[in-house]
């Protein structure tokens, strides 16, 4: 790759311990990384084996990737309720294998009509404590997942809507096995918060005792809810008895009621949007635009890094990780200032990905020392953001990701969430409600300027979810990827794309790499993985580093002439399987 003259002199190769060949990380239960999955016809990669089985059942029955996505999501709601479900929202990319059309589906939650910019301010005008805002109805946005699934199925589905609900209903009625991750999340402060609402406390702590790994659990209220939606369509979720119960739960939450109304539910619509795409070393990388910051921030990181020889440096060189951290600082600075729901504020999408602008941003990076943080936002062309103040809110990692490809080449990349673990902690009819409104800035203004991501009636909070697809120069699908992880999703996805495209790692090896993440502050290294070997080299260059549990949930599929290759994150219990 040709390096711009201004930057060419900066590149040096400094050896560091072999990261790609080091022992693979564990997921907290002692399980090692998965082997690379292979298939010829179709494949599903998701965060739970039961969910993957449900998706494959649909594909084997002649269903499409869209059909499989519905079945997978419904089972995930049951078996990992802390992460996603019908009480939350999602973003989904759909690639048509025949026409090569790519559509981005926005099922993000919306702020209730009655919500104002003062939603998370105390009487004295100061922001509420984060978990004071989370627990209860105040944090609940209008759920979008059911509407998104219905829209995707209507456009791309092949099997009857009702058929897609059968695996989840059967598991909810007959029982599923609790895994170690769910058991662990019921301990400590998370568990105490979850006990604050009786339906959730009774389900997750039967007889006052938390669920244990290996225990078989049923959820008959959820089975009844799914049966109602299966028989009567998505309208049964947004109107009628289910909607009434959701609103009563939100408005009746003791100590922290919300303002969600039945009119908010009845008026919710999922939106088809154009994906945000950019070119990286000849590949077209596409994702979800505003209200998600995912595609823009991933795109900026990659666009900045294109000015450096990452392919030549490789994954075993500390310089690669220094550059990734530095590019991330610059991208997150722009994210904080400019990115929000583009239906409410003008987001300079084109300017943020402008090659000349990113070249200028790249010129602030040197190899011998890091940039001081926080790095300031840049001045992209076509901007209308100078009047805004930066937003420092960061999402919580209560999310899941699904990657699917069917036998006709149709593909889905779907990231789905209820925001933090167990969402608002409110449970109704067997499912948890989101706390997505806490993704808004609690402060509506800073220094006399409005924050772009402030609360507004009907607005969708900024997200970091980054469902991603990568295409070659001829428009052929190469990679499906995404992850949970709050604002760190962006770093997880960018790193995996780099590992596949620049370092030629297979998808499982790319997912297994230890994480290095910078959100425009300290550089976080994933504890217990090969990433800790980078600490001395990064510290020598002046990085402030922290060892952290960076619990991603990357699930990806690589498409080649030799077949499909899938990877699942060893940090969770998911798998990639196909035929």
- Report residue 350 as tokens: 């084109």
Nearest-angstrom CA–CA distance, 302 and 509? 20
Select from 507, 509, 510 the least CA-distant residue to 565. Answer: 507
* CB neighbourhood size of 223 (10 A): 20
Long-range contacts of 240-245 (CB under 8 A, 24+ apart): 242/429, 245/428, 245/429
Query: Distances in Å between the alpha carbon of 64 and those of 59, 151, 408, 481, 511?
Result: 6, 14, 8, 18, 26
Residue 216 has φ and ψ, to the nearest 5°, of -95, 130
What tokens appear for 252 in the block? 């009746």
Q: 324 to each of 157, 232, 270, 555, how far by Cα in Å? A: 39, 49, 34, 21
- How far is the C-alpha of 261 from the C-alpha of 264, rounded, in Å? 5
Least Cα distance to 102 among 554, 410, 472 occurs for 410
| CA atoms of 271 and 151, how far apart (whole Å) | 9
Spatial CA neighbour of 477 closest among 270, 273, 272, 275 = 275
Give 79-142 as a DSSP string: HSTTT--TTSEEEEEEE-TTT--EEEEEE--B--TT--TTTTB-TTSPBPPHHHHHSSGGGPPB
Round to whole Å and give the CA distance between 540 and 197: 49
- Location of structure tokens 């105490």: 192
Cβ atoms within 10 Å, residue 188: 9
567 DSSP β-pair partners: 556
Kindly report the backbone phi and psi dihedral angles of residue 98, in degrees, each rounded to the nearest multiple of 5, phi listed first.
-85, -50
- Torsion-angle region of 546 (φ positive above 0: left; ψ -120 to 50: alpha; else: beta): beta
H/E element holding 305? helix 294-305
Residues 512 and 530: their CA atoms lie apart, in Å, by: 9
- Residues recognised as catalytic: 399
């Amino acid at each position: 790759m040709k390096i711009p003259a201004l930057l060419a002199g900066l590149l040096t190769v400094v050896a560091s311990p072999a990261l790609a060949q080091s022992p693979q990380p564990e997921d907290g239960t002692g399980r090692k990384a998965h082997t690379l999955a292979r298939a010829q016809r179709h494949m599903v990669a998701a965060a739970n084996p039961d969910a993957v089985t449900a998706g494959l059942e649909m594909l084997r029955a002649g269903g499409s990737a869209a059909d499989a996505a519905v079945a997978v999501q419904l089972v995930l709601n049951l078996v990992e309720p802390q992460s996603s479900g019908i009480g939350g929202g999602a973003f989904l990319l759909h690639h048509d294998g025949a026409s090569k059309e790519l559509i981005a589906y926005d099922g993000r939650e919306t702020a209730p009509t009655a919500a104002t910019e003062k939603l998370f301010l105390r009487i004295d005008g100061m922001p509420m404590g984060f978990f004071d805002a989370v627990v209860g109805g105040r944090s609940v946005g209008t759920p979008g997942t059911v509407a998104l699934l219905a829209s995707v199925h209507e456009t791309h589905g092949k099997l009857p809507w009702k058929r897609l609900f059968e695996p989840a209903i059967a598991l909810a009625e007959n029982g599923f096995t609790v895994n170690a991750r769910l058991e662990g999340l019921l301990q400590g402060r998370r568990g105490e918060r979850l006990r604050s609402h009786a339906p959730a406390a009774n389900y997750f702590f039967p007889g006052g005792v938390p669920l244990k790994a290996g225990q078989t659990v049923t959820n008959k209220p959820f089975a009844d809810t799914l049966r109602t939606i299966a028989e009567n369509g998505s309208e049964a979720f947004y109107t009628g008895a289910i909607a009434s119960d959701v609103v009563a739960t939100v408005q009746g939450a003791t100590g922290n009621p919300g303002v969600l109304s039945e009119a908010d539910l009845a008026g919710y619509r999922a939106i088809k949007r154009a994906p945000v795409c950019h070119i990286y070393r000849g590949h077209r990388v596409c994702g979800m635009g505003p209200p998600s910051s995912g595609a823009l921030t991933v795109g900026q990181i990659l666009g900045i890094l294109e000015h450096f020889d990452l392919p030549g440096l490789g994954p075993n060189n500390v310089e690669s990780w220094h550059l990734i951290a530095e590019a991330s600082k610059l991208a997150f600075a722009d994210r904080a200032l400019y990115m929000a729901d583009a239906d409410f504020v003008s987001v300079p999408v084109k300017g943020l990905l402008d090659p000349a602008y990113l070249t200028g941003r790249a010129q602030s990076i040197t190899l011998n020392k890091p940039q001081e943080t926080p790095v300031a936002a840049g001045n992209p062309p076509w901007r209308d953001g100078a009047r805004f103040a930066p937003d420092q809110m960061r999402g919580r990692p209560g999310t899941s990701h699904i990657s699917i490809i069917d036998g006709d080449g149709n593909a889905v990349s779907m990231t789905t969430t209820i925001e933090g673990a167990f969402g608002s902690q409110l449970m109704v009819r067997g499912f948890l409600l989101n706390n997505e409104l806490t993704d808004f800035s609690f402060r509506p203004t800073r220094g006399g300027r409005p924050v772009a991501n402030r609360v507004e009636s009907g607005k969708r909070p900024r997200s970091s979810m980054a469902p991603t697809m990568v295409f070659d120069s001829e428009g052929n699908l190469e990679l499906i990827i995404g992850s949970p992880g709050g604002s760190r999703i962006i770093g997880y996805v960018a790193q995996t794309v780099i590992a596949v495209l620049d370092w030629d790692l297979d998808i499982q090896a790319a997912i297994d790499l230890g994480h290095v993440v910078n959100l425009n502050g300290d550089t976080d290294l994933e504890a217990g993985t090969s990433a800790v070997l980078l600490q001395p080299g990064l510290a020598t260059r002046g990085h402030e580093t922290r060892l952290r549990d960076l619990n991603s949930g990357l699930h990806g599929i690589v498409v080649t002439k030799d077949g499909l290759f899938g990877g699942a994150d060893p940090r969770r219990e998911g798998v990639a399987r196909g035929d």
